[in-house]
Amino acid sequence: MKVTAQDVKYIAQLSRLIVPEADLEKSTEEFNQILNYADILQKIDTTGIEPTPYVLPISNALRKDVAKEGVTHEEALLNAPEVYNDGFKVPRVIE
Amino acid sequence: MTKYTTVIGLEVHAELKTESKAFCTCSAEFTNVPNTHVCPGCLGLPGTLPVLNKQVVEFAIRAGLAVNCEIQKYNKFDRKSYFYPDLCTNYQISQLDKPICLAGHIDINVDGEEKRIGVTRIHMEQDAGKLVHSGATISTSDFSAVDYNRAGVALIEIVSEPDMRSAEEARAYMENLKAILEYTDVCDCKMQEGSLRCDANVSIMPEGATEFGTRVEIKNLNSFRALVRAIEYEVERQKEVLAEGGRLIQETRTWDDANGVTLSMRNKETAEDYRYFPDADLVPVIIDDAWIERVRAELPELPAQRQARLMEQHGLPKYDASIIVSTKAMAEYFDEAVKTAKDAKGVSNWLLGDVSAYLNNEGITISEFKVTPAHLAELVNLTKDGVLSSKLAKKVFTEMLKEDKAPGALVKELGLEQVSDEGAIMKLVEETIAENPQSVADFKAGKDRAIGFLVGQIMKKSKGKANPGMVQKMLKEKMQ
């Protein structure tokens, strides 16, 4: 067992996911299956090899600093469940 | 009582003066209408990809070189994951382990003492949106409204070493950094408007200790005054907690400027667990020597160099020069004025004295000052040439604030030319001597102060126009 049900609850909370109590055991098992696979990769000797965050030999995909019109104010707020003072209305953020 | 040493490090966020945002093409310009500079990218909609703005890298290199950093050739971006409504993506694109700049420094001077403050790193990242709370404060609001205009605007975060030992050192560091960012033209540095923001990490440790105490991060410091007050308050608070046998906890506190206190911020996010990982939507940025050297060659004159130049070229005292160069606009005003002024120190005296007092009083900056550098130079010259006494010069200055007229014209209009005519002054001297026998006797008895009174009387009679140097000299001669 690499992670416990407690860990799964914590990670779910960080990701704002609800894992029902009934599914907790199954989720924990699935988590561990993934991590066990990662263990196989961990066994490979990588001494002297630089970490490889990117696999493609591409760099410097840069654009010129030119501003363009985005979407309209009305379009932007189409996705807001509720609007308050031209903004996306959200619940209080501090306890 | 245990004596404590204060340890301060600053994290400064500077919004870069780019036209467009860091990873999308929305305008980065400030606007008061919420959610108008937005696109699917900065609104975090599916199917969008970030593309880095080249100017962000350019500005970060420039700022880094200006604070003596080593520019890192290999740059990658990481996602800092957190759930908070100010970013739609639920992560901020930032740089974790490969920041663009490392190991720089900024020199400060507090009470004549030079000190070098380390700059740990500078990294590129994106700004978050703005939350407008429904209530008076964040904690009394039932809900908030989010404006994503600022979301995605390019930032650099400049992290200092914990090298500062007092609020004044922190202030000096912040002032110098602000000046550097202004001179290099990478940020407009408006602290009140949030384009330059500062968080302070503050801890205390017993004097002589080598291990730092538990640190507290203070947010919401949007002026130099707030920075100083918040640090001073926080140090006292920490001392009190320890004196009462309590323990400090590592936390984030917010500065409440109205009440002059720091308050604990309890976030709904229980842990600071950002789960950084490389942003696979972006590719590495490789900066070659040619790019770095080109930016280095294009660096403008920096505050320290300008200060040295003002001292050397215009003979200004160090104190004057350091204040004039502390804002770019003031330094430019000075340079413009001394083009025609016959007395550089005279210009400096005006800028540090009456001009600064007026600006502070009006709550404006020198960029908004109506008197032109050429007019101020003319005023200095009128004094230098003996046309105006320093007292009348102040009167003319007051008039110049009211209307946009050349001081020479105002002097004529107000009939304020200094009287340097010997005959006219002699007449006043004789009159005054005749009217004040007691003061004359006092002066003859060795009371030097009596002459001050007599000079004052003559100046009054001349409505301030008599040349005070001549008055003094002729009065003395007459009474010998």
Range with lowest mean pLDDT among A51-55, B395-399, B412-416: B412-416
- Nearest-CB residue to B144 (from A58, A76, A93): A93
Q: Do A68 and B147 touch (CB under 8 A)?
A: no
Domains of chain B: 4-295 (no CATH), 301-414 (no CATH), 422-479 (1.10.10.410)
- Map tokens 């900024």 to a residue: B106
**Separation CA B59–CA B420 (nearest Å):** 57
Please state, for a pLDDT cut of 90, what percent of chain B lies above it: 41
Q: Do B34 and A91 touch (CB under 8 A)?
A: no
Average pLDDT over residues B50-57: 96
Minimal-distance CA residue of chain A relative to B76: A53
Q: Do B28 and A77 touch (CB under 8 A)?
A: no
Q: How many CB atoms lie within 10 A of CB B55?
A: 22
Average pLDDT over residues B130-135: 79
pLDDT of residue B128: 93
State how beta strands B91-94 and B78-81 pair: antiparallel
> Which CATH topology does A5-42 take?
Histone, subunit A (1.10.20)
- Nearest-CB residue to A90 (from B26, B35, B144): B144
How many contacts (CB atoms, under 8 Å) link A and B? 147
Q: Which residues contact A73 (CB under 8 A, 6 or more apart)?
A: A86, B33, B34, B35, B36
Average pLDDT of chain B is 87
**Separation CA B478–CA B469 (nearest Å):** 14
Q: In what order do the strands lie in the sheet containing B78-81? A: B91-94, B78-81, B277-278
pLDDT at A13 over 70: yes
**Separation CA A16–CA A18 (nearest Å):** 7
Average pLDDT over residues B139-150: 84
Q: How many CB atoms lie within 10 A of CB B197?
A: 19
**Model-level pTM?**
0.79
Contact predicate B400/B374, CB 8 Å: no
Supply the DSSP symbol for A22.
G
- Nearest-CB residue to A94 (from B28, B145, B268): B268
Domain positions in chain A: 5-42
pLDDT at B197 over 60: yes
**Separation CA B317–CA B308 (nearest Å):** 10
**B33 contacts in A (CB within 8 Å)?**
73, 86
Reported as a single tens digit per residue, the pLDDT across B252-297 is 888 888 888 888 876 544 456 888 889 989 999 999 999 999 999 9
Count how many Cα atoms sit within 13 Å of the Cα of residue B139 in the half-sphere of its side chain.
9
Mutate which: B100, B144, B277, vs A, most A CBs within 10 A: B144
Reported as a single tens digit per residue, the pLDDT across B4-45 is 999 999 999 999 999 999 999 999 998 889 999 999 999 999
pLDDT at A62 over 90: yes
pLDDT of residue B272: 67
Mutate which: B18, B25, B142, vs A, most A CBs within 10 A: B25
> SS3 sequence, B311-347?
HHHHCCCHHHHHHHCCCHHHHHHHHHHCCCCCCHHHH
- Nearest-CB residue to B145 (from A62, A64, A85): A85
- Map tokens 């739609």 to a residue: B88
Range with lowest mean pLDDT among A2-16, A17-31, B240-254, B436-450: B436-450
Give the distance from residue B154's alpha carbon to the nearest chain A alpha carbon, in angstroms: 11
**B57 contacts in A (CB within 8 Å)?**
62
